[in-house]
Structure 1
Amino acid sequence: MKNIWFTIYVASKDVEKFNGLANYRTLLEFLLISAVQDKLDRTKKVNKIMFCLIPDLEEDSIDNFIKNYFNGRKPALGIINLEASTKGIDWNDLSDKKKKALLIDKWKVLFSNLSDDYFLIDKSEVLQSLEALKTIEWTLSSSIFKKKLRYKKEIYEIIMNLSVEKATLTMVRLSDQKSFKLKEYDTWKIMTEANFKNFNILEGDILRLENSSIFGSPQFFDLKDLVQ
């Protein structure tokens, strides 16, 4: 079964009011998959849960939300959506801590007003899991391929390290755990140009990473200059 897509969006006219939101949104999606997804009833056929941040909205549209996702109903097209107010809040002026708290609080509004039959456990446990995200470092590190890379008689793992500031693609030599940075990206680009599905070595030293999208270009790294 595919992961639920937890996402946050804004209207195109408001994009400049939410600089950097895409990085927070991308990393938070992975955190929510871990913290919340297994607590939801997948028989509801929910595939996307999201909220829209709206600066001109007086308050969160809770009444409409409750009407749309009442007890016993499966959401249309598998989508759950909340219109969330940011009236009086200047996202671009918030600290990192306050940005994280704002996003978590909006997720709490969404889940606290979602009908109980969407949950496998008591809803309060989901809200506790969300609140706990305020206290942890928003960083993730994972291997992006199952197979390992063999280069000059050494074995390497290709890792993507994520934070709200950046995504760092690295090679880790397994014999001594030494890391070699390949490239840095904006975090949100792990969904586009930094979304890789395979790799191979060309001409002995050139690492080629194949993009998951048929429209995405492969990326090349000269390992003889990067790995010491």
Structure 2
Amino acid sequence: PGQHWDGGWPLLVGVWDSPAVGSPSVQTWIPEARDGPPVIEGIFEQVVEGHRGAFVGAVPADLPDGWIMRLMHEAALLAGLLQRLGYYGRCSFDAVLAGRSLEEAELHWIECNGRWGGVSIPMTLANRLTGNWRRRPFVVVQREALPLQPLTVDQAVDRLGERLFRTGVCDEGIVLLTPRLMAEGRGLHFMALARTADAARAMARDCVAVLSRPA
């Protein structure tokens, strides 16, 4: 009683799936219809934290082949529909694998983003740096509201040293994505590229530790 919504309109109301065993995101490029069918560029697992499911990063999806094929097939159908409606450009399709295990999970498509986002930008950058991100799987770390000491880009570069990705010198390493978060002491945003997804995860954890330590 007495409660009311004063946060503005329009208001989007959605379903919150719980429990869930995964939150895959399918990255697509939708060309104009005359240029060919939509292209599936990658399937990633969104990393979320807390009861609100805040996005804090992404890793290449490590799912059974059956799930990968289903995600690709259904995302291609959705992308094809948008193409027939006249849309072209970047588009990602986010889903939830709702259930307690992959064996019993249901696939719920929950969001379509017709824009560049937190996975498609690093993915495209990785393609530019390596030729094909699949050769150097990457992990995205996007952590905000962390109690960090402010770091300038120069300070971060000094700390990371040989860990940094250097075109023509080292085909693995860290790429800083949003330095302002560090400069303001509000968080970290970078990607780690390595020869395997596991190595990229380990590199990302090491980078968080290096950039988070007190001066």
Common topology (TM > 0.5): no
TM-score of the pair, normalised by structure 2: 0.24
User: Higher relative CO (CA 8 A, sep ≥ 6), structure 1 or 2?
Assistant: 2
TM-score when scaled to structure 1? 0.23
